[in-house]
Amino acid sequence: MKRLLVADIDGTLAYDDHVPDDVSETCRALVAMGWDIVLATGRIL
């Protein structure tokens, strides 16, 4: 079974335009375990 994490960036994964080290490490660990991660934002790209 495929695992998917969809998360907002601003105020959830990042604060003041910075992603904390523990969040980055957790995301890397999830990807290593086979998870796909999709980032969502309300910002105009």
pLDDT digits (tens, 9 = 90+) for 2-20: 999 999 998 899 999 899 9
28 or 15, higher pLDDT: 28
What are φ and ψ of residue 20, in 5° steps? Answer: -60, 150
Q: pLDDT value at position 26? A: 97
Does 37 have pLDDT greater than 80?
yes
- pLDDT band at 44; cut points 50, 70, 90: confident
Does 1 have pLDDT greater than 90?
no
DSSP of 8-33: ETBTTTBBTTB--HHHHHHHHHHHHT
**CA–CA distance, 24 with 2 (Å, rounded to integer):** 21
Domain ranges (residues) in the chain: 3-40
**CA–CA distance, 10 with 36 (Å, rounded to integer):** 19
Rg of the chain in Å (alpha carbons): 11
